[in-house]
Structure 1
């Protein structure tokens, strides 16, 4: 394979970092150049003094990173000086460089001492390609495969191959994977679908490509109509599209990556091979189909809940006004009562005549209201709510019905009748008459029958349709599922296929590299239980200490109360040190950071250009500053000599989520190598990270922006979830202001691609749930949340008692069901491996694990996850 065909993986700075001599501090020199007896004996066995020193240096380098190096003398003279002054005291040596043969002989000894093998294509190439082919099914990003190759070599005790070797292997793996998929599509795709895809690329089909890419920005009927148009046009192709992609066994991450190629290339998609066009478009159609269905479902849920809330507000206001009006009509009611004692009325008059005269004074409804008022009763709020729904006939027959007919429902044990009724309703509404004719009265509760049945016991069919719609939103937590929508489908659909799991369980567990998952549950549970008991005892001992300043126990009136100490706020001023530092422009700071890290090189061209030209360096800096300061490229164009079209083109070509992540990782990795970085550690050799959400008001309306009167007033906004390790922002996610932060904690950690790997994670109360405790522990992290009301947490979880010697003893109020953990350990392993393989987005799976906990009868394995989480929470 020619070099031009090799995929670019590392920047030049990253290549120098991995394949160049490491820069050791004095502490690193003492650690890596220290020798045991065997190493010292082999070093002294070399005759040439310079080679002895070189062996010690290269051995230390290899311990730091298993790469074969051939550095020049002047590159490592400081380390050589340390060796002959400290490790092997001697007179030193003259400058020299190793010949290839000398270097090979020294590394033979290094491999022997470290129990490693030298990379050999014949011996190791095929096995590495097979391993990377398996990894490519989860994620084909070259950097991911590069890291996977290094992990494989580390696991197999093989020295990391040369960069060009890994480039060639990874390029071959990615190319073979795409060629395999393109060949399969050529054989399996129907002629009609091929024609439809060609029309999309050429813009000659019934649905313009521009309209296909347009999506709803909010929940209004006009915007949701965009999703309905897409649904109607691609609906008949989706069964074949889903079948084709399922045979390719693409992971969710790969599918998203390939789908994004359509947005990356745009009109230039025509330049790609036909096979690549098919692959990208099929993935895009499925992603766009999923997006349309999810937004249709979200829109349906939104309008049903909004209508229900408006009906409740209307009903409360109507009842209040009715009560007020009845109070004012008491005087007229007196006139009605006077009719019964009016001597001028002939007693022989029919009652109907007198009744008619009474109704001329007060209407029937007003008279009923006065009667209720006199009895100190009010009209039914529920009746007023149903009256409001009756007035919203156009919404029910229009937008809601259209959205409802796009959805396919499945029920569980307790909702089978509801799912059947929904399916039957859809069939009738899809019929020629488009009228709902039958109703399942078994679904009606005793309370609802009063409002959905008329006086003769017949169903009010319009209200019954509203009734069905109102049952859906609150049951999309596992009771009802939408199998076509990732967000609302059953949990089992997000996990590794059951048959594949049973056949390949042990292989999958070994590939996950998680030691806890491979252990026997009884042994692991016993170990965790001992750790929990020990921790509870230690905490009790700590609380007894007189110098305990972290948790204070108050005992007023015999009732324990726990609280954290609160210190008075001092007047905050800037440290005088910072006043001595001159003010520097942000552009100058960015140029300095780029000089030291080369992060601008991470903004690769969307078409995969091999050129490393930095001709757009200042344009990219302007775009970054403009977007970061919320001015945008239009604002930057107004105040600079760059045109809007120029900045817009460069932004489209270079600025993407993946390039932003790469640049951020580049800066963070360089920061982590600075000697000062470790002084930010709260604990020695422990990186403590923190995740929190910050609310931002949005200028533009998107489907993710939401109202929040607490944060945005009458405006919309989003929440930016940020993962901070020490002082470095290593990952971030933008979520809706209505979404729960705890669902994204695990996703932030697992999608972190920087070299800064947190050991401990803290969040505020919004980031806490039992599932996070269990998952983070299984994946090797410690979860240490900051509770706003720590006293309430302690009182809810623990019984605090005193023994005979009046020492504090803590024990759990609710015992942990360890039997359930062991019983469903296989399911816990399957969930963890599915998260590792990115079978679905990790936030989606965590959300389901968290929200389904109230429906454990339908999802029994959730109990085991929650029990495991409770055990880890108790230990924390």
Structure 2
């Protein structure tokens, strides 16, 4: 366990005056009330009264006494001296003339004000217990635990011990918590499981890798064989029977970290561990990897079904093109026959003869047959071509039915019964099915499932079930028991007594009343008042007009005019450029590290205490290589120990991870927020989100197709968040180009910096009523720049209300009674998201995927419609609001442009897979943020 985790800032601030306290701090810690003055005035001599007053106020502010009061800042001395009617604080120099004075005064203060020494019982015991609880339940960085301990000591009037004493205490407690975790985990497996899991480290004869290394590797392609391999990997882990072990009472976050550590550490290193720790690491790995393997197998299944659907569509389109001439020829013949049929002058008695004289009967019959053969129904989904791929499907479908144990909600019971029916037929070669559940057979599938005699054909039924299974899995009407991503999201919400205990605090924290009727009434009143306010000002709004060209009235919103840059801005730009010194990128990175200490956040993957001389130089080199995408080669210097090939490779493998990059990024963001210029830009309450696209040249199941961005290949989107201080506080890797709005909320909830953004600006990003509703429930303001804001539906609650010129726009009526009925469920959902029991993207997907929204989804939609209307009304009413959204979006795009310029290497190297892209993205962002911070720092620096 490292004992040098304190940052330079923490070392300088601990028990010392660093900067003059602000007005709030002076009033809180240095104001002397009547009780204080009575105590102080008992001392003789002005120097003694000022000295004991400064010792008292310093103990309140710093948590310790000073042996040399000349270290107290002049502003503090003056503030305290004025309250004691002492004109010249210089008398303080006489305070140290008598050696015993300090000891006597500190003893008097401790007795009179109730201060305690750190070693006094029970104070150190209480602190150890609190720290141990935090170390056991969370994965807090030691620096945060140190800050918590310092704050707790100050709050409880316990004098601060030496910094090294507190550092050692934090390190020892973290080590003790780890030892306890290893002991409990090692005691869970029985002797058979212990033997099996230990064998994972042994390399079988004739093979080059151990079973553990094989189990670490997930699927990389989407195909039937890839799914079979992924499923076999899951079965190998499931057969170890670790899912039946009782992990109750063990902190989930610690188990995840231990499993992640096992996934990154070498097999040789794990094999050399003490038996207890080795077994604990392997136990955590198997438990987590079993769930991950199941998730990945179902991911491949989902994408495989998509691939089959896509292939069927492609085949169907090709067939359509090939047969189009035949269809046109037949249609023209039938059109001629119909024109003769519609001729009013034709004799009805001779009509057939007239038609057959013009078009031979055989040719007409042939045309009818051809149209029936080639024409497709309006709702055609290329099901015919899907059935043609049954030969491909039957290679993996038996494994799906046999090895995946599905569960169902009431809406998925029919699909589950069909799964059970086909499972019983596994191994049978029957082509015609008897007594098969028919509820899953929808209209478009009937002609492909039933033959001419009305019997159910196995090929069509299997493909129909596969389509229904995918739909039910996505809506979570069907789920898997031991899955994380494909499990039952309802079980992850706060339940029973836990929710009742959290109900009032959650509602209070989110700013909503516990009473549903009161909550919807407040929302209805807010909407009504906003409608009336905007309507009253609409006549004077020259930028927005009502248009009646379409079926419904809509709004025309004028584009924002460009703001001309005044000459003073150009002069300022020139002066700012002079403040930015020419500096090599490597020097810049090292300087920012010296100022912020962000490299201290990078810890060894397995040996938490492992450090090396000049490690920060190696880390900066690796970070630059990854962020600029140039590789390690240009940075290798054989004559510098910190830059040798071996050192840089070791650092890259053991220190550069997603969680360490997140921590380093958080420190940079927090430093940026303390700079004066950043504070002038904004307070960190506003942010924007946008995505960058990366093509993935290698195959990976985490990428997705999109011809607009990736051509014929596949890729990912790195969705990143930028605050109004130009700092990037979070980033999410998204497969392909999934709906951006799914991940916006997740970014706000899961970001780990000190910023607290409450309003998010995005592009249209696939917004929906549910997204607006969830943002409102969680107390955030969603402000997308809608491409069709004027065409959007505006909603009202009161049907009888008259909103003047805007009344015709309010053509939708929100039914808030649904929200009132589901109020407690909505609060429970919002509380679960806020407390992190469920991921926002997982919940949103289950709500958005449903074609039959649940009562909860409908309630969230209704409040979302109201919230969206509130946003739209403010958007059309306030040009400054529209400009503020555009300004923040431009900040995010400027940051993306900056990062694009700093990436001097190729877009993504051929060796990259999804993990590699994630590292480049995070490293790239942290790297560009250091450049932003550097610019901000030098601009703020006094000449």
Counterpart secondary structure, 2:716? strand
Distance 1:513 1:56, change over 3 A: farther
Q: Which residue of 1 aligns with 2:614?
A: 615
- Alignment check: 8 A CA contact 1:691 1:761 kept: yes
Distance 1:757 1:568, change over 3 A: closer
Alignment of 1:266-665 (within 5 A): 266-267=266-267, 268-325=269-326, 370-372=367-369, 378=375, 385-403=382-400, 405-429=402-426, 431=427, 438=434, 439-475=436-472, 476-496=474-494, 498-501=495-498, 505-506=500-501, 514=509, 516=511, 519-521=514-516, 524-525=519-520, 527-540=522-535, 543=538, 546=540, 552-554=544-546, 559=553, 561-563=555-557, 565-568=559-562, 575-577=573-575, 579-580=577-578, 581-610=580-609, 613-633=612-632, 636-637=635-636, 642=643, 644-665=645-666
Alignment: residue pair count:
821
Q: Which of 72, 79, 102 is matched with 1:83 structurally?
A: 79
Distance 1:382 1:539 in 2: 43
Deviations, residues 237-293 of structure 1 (Å, cap 9, x unaligned): 2xx312325434543x33321211103432212343333333322232233222222
Deviation at 1:139, TM superposition (A): 2.7
Distance 1:220 1:781, change over 3 A: same
Distance 2:859 2:604 in 1: 47
- Alignment check: 8 A CA contact 1:218 1:702 kept: yes
Distance 1:447 1:829, change over 3 A: closer
Q: Which residue of 1 aligns with 2:258?
A: 258
Counterpart secondary structure, 1:99? helix
**Is residue 691 from structure 1 mapped to residue 686 from structure 2 by the alignment?**
no
Q: Which residue of 2 aligns with 1:838?
A: 836
- Alignment check: 8 A CA contact 2:547 2:553 kept: yes
**What's the TM-score once normalised by structure 2's chain length?**
0.74
* Range moving further from structure 2, 564-573 or 763-772: 564-573
Deviations, residues 430-487 of structure 1 (Å, cap 9, x unaligned): x487999553334323442222222222222122212211222222213322333222
- Alignment check: 8 A CA contact 1:133 1:177 kept: yes
Deviation at 1:197, TM superposition (A): 1.4
Distance 2:119 2:778 in 1: 33
Distance 2:159 2:862 in 1: 42
Distance 1:441 1:276, change over 3 A: same
Distance 2:858 2:55 in 1: 52
Distance 2:74 2:3 in 1: 36
Deviation at 1:24, TM superposition (A): 3.5
Deviation at 1:748, TM superposition (A): 2.1
- Alignment check: 8 A CA contact 1:323 1:378 kept: no
Distance 1:203 1:679 in 2: 60
Distance 1:388 1:433, change over 3 A: closer
Deviation at 1:311, TM superposition (A): 1.8
Distance 1:306 1:658, change over 3 A: closer
Counterpart secondary structure, 1:472? helix
- Alignment check: 8 A CA contact 1:21 1:61 kept: no
Distance 1:579 1:318 in 2: 63
Distance 1:677 1:150 in 2: 29
Deviation at 1:87, TM superposition (A): 6.4
- Alignment check: 8 A CA contact 1:730 1:752 kept: yes
- Alignment check: 8 A CA contact 1:369 1:379 kept: no
Deviations, residues 632-682 of structure 1 (Å, cap 9, x unaligned): 33565599985544322111122122221222222222222222221111x
Distance 2:332 2:611 in 1: 90
Deviation at 1:739, TM superposition (A): 2.6
- Alignment check: 8 A CA contact 1:824 1:864 kept: yes
Distance 1:135 1:552 in 2: 55
Distance 1:160 1:655 in 2: 38
Distance 2:164 2:527 in 1: 50
Q: Which residue of 1 aligns with 2:715?
A: 717
Deviation at 1:324, TM superposition (A): 1.4
Distance 1:434 1:102 in 2: 96
Deviation at 1:129, TM superposition (A): 5.9
Deviations, residues 849-871 of structure 1 (Å, cap 9, x unaligned): 5545x5443xx334444445555
- Alignment check: 8 A CA contact 2:6 2:143 kept: no
Q: Which residue of 2 aligns with 1:247?
A: 248
**Is residue 213 from structure 1 mapped to residue 216 from structure 2 by the alignment?**
yes
**What's the TM-score once normalised by structure 1's chain length?**
0.79
Distance 1:601 1:220 in 2: 43
Q: Which residue of 2 aligns with 1:733?
A: 732
Counterpart secondary structure, 1:443? coil
Distance 1:543 1:37, change over 3 A: farther
Deviations, residues 509-534 of structure 1 (Å, cap 9, x unaligned): 65998374785555555555555555
Q: Which residue of 2 aligns with 1:139?
A: 138
Distance 1:629 1:84 in 2: 53
- Alignment check: 8 A CA contact 1:410 1:482 kept: yes
Distance 1:716 1:119, change over 3 A: farther
Distance 2:116 2:508 in 1: 21
Deviations, residues 74-103 of structure 1 (Å, cap 9, x unaligned): 543233355268766621123467936645
Distance 1:511 1:464 in 2: 47
Distance 1:374 1:531 in 2: 58
* Range moving further from structure 2, 222-231 or 646-655: 222-231
Q: Which residue of 2 aligns with 1:230?
A: 233
Deviation at 1:194, TM superposition (A): 0.6
Distance 2:529 2:307 in 1: 51
- Alignment check: 8 A CA contact 1:708 1:716 kept: yes
- Alignment check: 8 A CA contact 2:51 2:69 kept: no
Distance 1:322 1:645 in 2: 63
Counterpart secondary structure, 1:455? coil
Distance 1:46 1:213, change over 3 A: farther
- Alignment check: 8 A CA contact 1:821 1:868 kept: yes
Structure 1 unaligned residues grouped into runs of 5+? 334-360
Distance 1:867 1:120 in 2: 58
Distance 1:605 1:314 in 2: 52
Distance 2:82 2:536 in 1: 46
Alignment of 1:26-37 (within 5 A): 35=31
Counterpart secondary structure, 1:689? strand
Counterpart secondary structure, 1:194? helix
Distance 1:667 1:590 in 2: 12
Deviations, residues 493-517 of structure 1 (Å, cap 9, x unaligned): 2224x35526xx3268659983747
Distance 1:369 1:120 in 2: 101
Distance 1:764 1:534 in 2: 28
Deviation at 1:724, TM superposition (A): 1.7
Q: Which residue of 2 aligns with 1:669?
A: 670
Alignment RMSD: 4.7
Distance 1:155 1:525 in 2: 43
Q: Which residue of 2 aligns with 1:194?
A: 194
Q: Which residue of 2 aligns with 1:742?
A: 741
- Alignment check: 8 A CA contact 1:181 1:248 kept: no
Q: Which residue of 1 aligns with 2:888?
A: none
Counterpart secondary structure, 1:607? coil
Distance 1:428 1:255, change over 3 A: farther
Q: Which residue of 2 aligns with 1:336?
A: none
Deviation at 1:304, TM superposition (A): 1.7
